[in-house]
Every structure is written in C-alpha cells, then in structure tokens.
Structure 1
Amino acid sequence: MEGVIALMRSVPVSTKPGVVLPRISARRSSPYISTNFSKRDVCLIRAQQLDSREASATVPPPPPPVSDSQDNALKLKEWEVGRLKEEVAATQGITIRRRPPTGPPMHYVGPFEFRIQSEGNTPRNILEEIVWHKDVELAQWKEKKPLVSLKKALGAAPPTRDFIGALRAAQQRTGLPGLIAEVKKASPSRGVLREDFDPVEIAKAYEKGGAACLSVLTDEKFFQGSYENLAAIRNAGIKCPLLCKEFIVEAWQLFYARTKGADAVLLIAAVLTDLDIKYMIKICKILGLAALVEVHNEREMDRVLGIDGIKLLGINNRNLETFTVDISNTRNLLDARRTEIIREKGIIVVGESGLFTPADIAYVQEAGVEAVLVGESLVKQPDPALGIANLFGKDISV
C-alpha cells in the first residue's frame, strides 16, 4: 500500500502579519529518499557532456539564490533529467537504478508538500542498494569538499604510477597473470574477512609476495573500507600502483581518489552508461589515472568493447546483483570474436572473483586473462605473502 510523506513547503508560513513560523519537516527514516535537493546537482547530463577542456577548467561559483517558484522548477527539472538518464540506461541493458524512482517531487495540498512513497523505492538487489547509498553519501561529501577545492588539492597529490605497465612487467617476469591484490576487510556477502585488519601491513605483505598492483576498498558502509586506508598505504612508501576500488557514479569521485593517492579507478558497466564511461575515461586521462572498466555479462562486454580508449577490461565472475560466483563466466565472455577485438585494441583483460587455487589461475589464463584481481583468498591468510605463493603454485616474489 502506498504511503504518503508530508513535508512543509520550503516557503515560511505565517499566521499573522510580520510573524514567520520556523520551518518544520518530517522525513522517512530511509536514507534513499532525499527530502533536500542540491541546486548544484541539477543538470546531470549537461555536466557529463563537458569535453576534456571544460572538465579541467575551474568550476564556476554556485548560482545566486533563486525564488521559491524557480526552486520548484529546478527540482522538477532534476527529476526529469534523472528519468531521462534511466531511460537511456535501460536501452543499454542497465537495470540498476541510480536513485529511487520517487516521481516528481512536488505535490501540494495547502501549505504542505507531499511525496509519494511506493514499493519502487526499495532497492531490488545489493548493488542497487549500494548505489543509492552512494548517491546520498556523495551529496554530503560534496558539501564538505566542493570540486573546486579538490582541484586545488591536486597540486599536493603524489604523481601517479604506471598501473598498466606494472601488470605487463609482472606478466613478462613470471609468465603468469599480473596480480592485483586486494586490501579488503569485509564484503556484503561474506561479512568480515579479517578481524586483525591493518591495511598498511597487508599491503606490505602483498608487495613482498610479488603483487604487481594493489586494490584498496574505499566503500565504508558495505565493505568497511575508507579513503584513509588508500592514503595511508600510499604514504607508507608502498611502490605498487594503487587501484581505488569504489562504486563510482560521479566524476567528483575521480578527483577525490586522485587526491588520496590513487593510480587507477574502477568503473562498473552495470551502473554506468556508455556516455558515463566515455566521459570518465576523459577525466581519468586528464588526471593520469588508469581506468579498469568492469563487466559481468555479454551485453556489458559488447558495450565496453565498442568504446574507444579502454585499456583495462575486468571480467567479474561474481554477479553483482545476486553475488553468486562462477569462474566459467570469464571463458564464456572471451569467445573468438571478442578476443580478436581485445587483441586489436591492445586491451589487458583482468579476471576477477572466485580465484582460490593454481587451477583457477590456469583456467582464466588459458581463457585469455593477462591479470587477476584477488582479495578474499589472500586477505584471509595469516601470511598474505605466503598466500600469494599458494595461489599461483609458486613463489612469484622479486
């Protein structure tokens, strides 16, 4: 049954001339239904259509205050733009909704503003829940750290390292896929993986064991990670290039990752449209970041192979909607036609999830994988460096 959330209209209500009552609001407890709209986030598609020169320019100041009627129009336009983006995503096979489909925000009865709450405002799966939470989280972060301040902070950021070059060098040295070892405390499907979690010590053990690169989880709510972990590993003198493992939905996150010492970022095709991916790859080039574009089904694979500029393609054997794992997914996606496209474009394929034994590594390598991203089977080991040797069936340390 549909419920109704009533909110006081933002216009102050007065019962007597010259007397203005304080604003009162009633909010649903769910974090996914935002009752406050940011004027700076209205034209989402316009921001993604910026070319690389516009993206590197100074962000303009916020617009001047608007009247109540203008504010209402902006909110309605924001909803319309969001709906348009959802329609575009649907044509590309994307089922993950970026925000709850709350409908147009304005329904008035007297001095009250109503918003309709329905079953459609419940996340369909864990990935959608993560993305909805990320949208709320980002609104809070951007208030504290506007993009203009991040751009100023770039001058103090350490230089990026060659993430792709490190993977190629490791493969040439060992004859095995280059290893991206993941610093990961927990996951939604497995819970806490390591109680005595020290991100810097784990990173050092990975580097000692022969990892070419490291992946650092930065999502806090669902994976108990943080950008502080990323920065701490970078500042500890770890030489391995670092991948910021985050659920990226806005370019702001790319800048933030760069200021925290990232050398590469993850872009998930199950969440991002082709336009999103193209735009973010442009920003990554400006920032010197490598982009690992991740797919987990045939539709996503073909979409990504049709986008120019991709150099790292991750095949996730975990279905991000159900979290089930099947490593045969890698072989199924790497058929002869797609393998030829990958070869022509010089793309490195990264196998992800479900890799626990030397046999697993051999299986995805035979399918055409040149690098692997492994977290759970390593971070749970008392000695992660020894865990790497056990995973590959031999010592791959330098």
Structure 2
Amino acid sequence: MTILDEINANKRREVAAAKAKISLEELKLSPFFKRTPHSLKAALQAEGASGIIAEFKTKSPSKGEINSLVEVTEVTSAYVAAGVSGLSVLTDQQYFGGSFENLAKARFANPHTPILRKDFMLDPYQVYEAKAHGADLILLIAASLSKEEMLLLSETAKELGLEVLVEVHTEEEIEKLNPLVDLVGVNNRNLKTFEVDVETSVRLSKQLPADMVRISESGLSSVENIHYLRKAGFDGFLMGENFMKSENPGKACAEFISKL
C-alpha cells in the first residue's frame, strides 16, 4: 500500500463520519454558500500576474513537521500583500496538519483572493464542504480517481460554482481529463518515491490540450524555476514548503515575488 492509498482509505473513513454528523442541508446553511466564488483561472491569466499560488500547510508525509508556529490569518494575509495570484489551504488534518478552520480564517482574511481547498477529494460531499468553508476551487488528484469519479466531482463543483483543478503525475492520468476541468496541475513529486523533478512539468505539458491553463506543483524553490516553466507554457506555480519552512513565510514570499 502506497502513502496515497493509506491517505485515501483514511479519508473515506473521515468522510463517512462527517456525513453522519453534518448533512448536506446543514452545509448549505453556511453563509459562504451565498457568495460568488473567485476564478483562479482568471487571476493567473490577468496581465502582470505573479502566477504564484502560495500554500499554507504545517506538515506533510514526506517532510514531517514544516512549521507549527505560524498562524493562518497572518501568513495568508502576508501572501496576498506580497502579490500572489491565489492561495492554497490544506484541510487534511492527519497528514498535513490542515483544518476547515484554517480555510475559513483564510477566506475571512482575504475576501478577494481565489482559494483552493487542498485535500484528497473522493466524494461529492467534500465539494459541498469546500463551498461551505469558503473555497473557490477544489483539487482532484487523478491518481486517486477513475475517469467517471472525476467527472462526477467536476459536475458537482460546477453546480456549486467552483472551479476544478486536476493534478496529474503521468501521461496516463491525462486521459482522465474532462471538459469541465478549468486548470491542470502537474505534480513534480513522484507519489511512490517522493523524488521531485521539475522536468516532469515540462514533459507532461506537451501532452495537455493547447488551451489548458497549466500549474506546476512541488519542488519549486528558485526564480529560475519559474522563468523556465513560464517558457514551457505554465501560468501558475504552487509553492508551499519553500515559504512555510521559513520563520516568516509572508516575508519569504514577498522577497521571492520581488525577484520575479
């Protein structure tokens, strides 16, 4: 069993427990259901956009604890002040130290910035959770879903006005894309070995539809990485650990973007 298999099995148990505790009708009562979501796709394509999607996560399976001393409102506000195009907030607690509280706090602190609910989405119920806690888009990991499951989750997202970001790691996973997908993220980290190779983005980008908005994920640590990937057709760059591992993630983000 891979770490992804383990996480997905745990996630299914979490979702079953959540369904038993909070109904869809209760989720729909959230004030966030009345708001119009923002478009990350539009933000990334806007003239002068930095393209940086800064992530708030305090730990990960590959790195362990990254930074448990920082507060989500302070960090995400600093990210936005630095000029990011979007935010990514982890909501998986067990493996990434995330929470819905963090997502909601980021939303309140940054009302005009697109926010991704970063989690392992396996059930339409989770899409309603994302909407109920202020997310603008969801992440679908192709390695975790069949083509049919991905379509169902995409349809649910569209019904709720949310954008869909699909993460791929291999050429085979690209075959699972559907017309409702707004953005494709190429994860440079091998989910089996955890090795990171930026060339994964470049290689898979050539296989994607020409008009697809592309995001490169994982292992991005230098301005040179960003310039290189822009030339390869990428509009977005998801960066978490590079900023979060510093004592002041917001400052690290601002310094990075200033160099772009």
| Structure-2-length-normalised TM-score | 0.94
CA contact 2:59–2:67 (8 Å) conserved in 1: yes
CA contact 1:157–1:259 (8 Å) conserved in 2: no
- Tell me the number of residue pairs that the alignment of Structure 1 and Structure 2 aligns: 260
Amino acid at match of 1:383: N
Specify the alignment match of 1:327 in structure 2: 198
Structure with the bigger RCO (C-alpha within 8 Å, sep 6+) is 2
- Deviations, residues 85-120 of structure 1 (Å, cap 9, x unaligned): xxxxxxxxxxxxxxxxxxxxxxxxxxxxxxxxxxxx
Q: 1:327 to 1:269 in 2, by over 3 A?
A: same
**3-state DSSP class of the match of 2:84?**
coil
Specify the alignment match of 1:311 in structure 2: 182
Q: CA deviation at 1:148?
A: 2.9
Q: CA deviation at 1:392?
A: 4.5
Q: CA deviation at 1:166?
A: 1.4
- Deviations, residues 170-194 of structure 1 (Å, cap 9, x unaligned): xx215x5x11110111101111111
Q: CA deviation at 1:291?
A: 0.7
Specify the alignment match of 1:138 in structure 2: 15
More displaced stretch, 237-246 vs 220-229: 237-246
CA distance in 1, matches of 2:165, 2:63: 24
CA contact 1:264–1:291 (8 Å) conserved in 2: yes
Q: 1:161 aligns with which of 19, 34, 38?
A: 38
1:1-398 pair list within 5 angstroms: 124-153=1-30, 157-169=34-46, 172-174=47-49, 178-304=51-177, 307-335=178-206, 338-339=207-208, 342-343=209-210, 346-392=211-257, 394=259
CA distance in 2, matches of 1:152, 1:261: 13
CA contact 1:187–1:223 (8 Å) conserved in 2: yes
Amino acid at match of 1:137: E
Specify the alignment match of 1:119 in structure 2: none
Q: CA deviation at 1:155?
A: 7.1
CA contact 1:200–1:232 (8 Å) conserved in 2: yes
CA contact 1:358–1:390 (8 Å) conserved in 2: no
Q: 1:248 to 1:322 in 2, by over 3 A?
A: same
Q: CA deviation at 1:269?
A: 0.4
- Deviations, residues 332-354 of structure 1 (Å, cap 9, x unaligned): 1122xx25xx22xx320000000
**3-state DSSP class of the match of 1:173?**
coil
CA distance in 1, matches of 2:244, 2:140: 23
Amino acid at match of 1:289: L
CA distance in 1, matches of 2:55, 2:228: 20
Q: CA deviation at 1:294?
A: 0.5
Amino acid at match of 2:230: Q
Q: State the Cα RMSD in Å.
A: 1.8
Report the structure number with the largest CA radius of gyration.
1
CA distance in 1, matches of 2:201, 2:258: 21
- Deviations, residues 157-212 of structure 1 (Å, cap 9, x unaligned): 4331222211211xx215x5x11110111101111111312011110110011111
CA distance in 2, matches of 1:293, 1:197: 29
More displaced stretch, 216-225 vs 315-324: 315-324
Percent of aligned positions with the same letter in both sequences? 37
Q: CA deviation at 1:389?
A: 4.4
CA distance in 2, matches of 1:157, 1:380: 35
Runs of at least 5 residues in structure 2 that lack an aligned partner in the other structure? none
Q: CA deviation at 1:368?
A: 1.4
Runs of at least 5 residues in structure 1 that lack an aligned partner in the other structure? 1-123
| Structure-1-length-normalised TM-score | 0.62
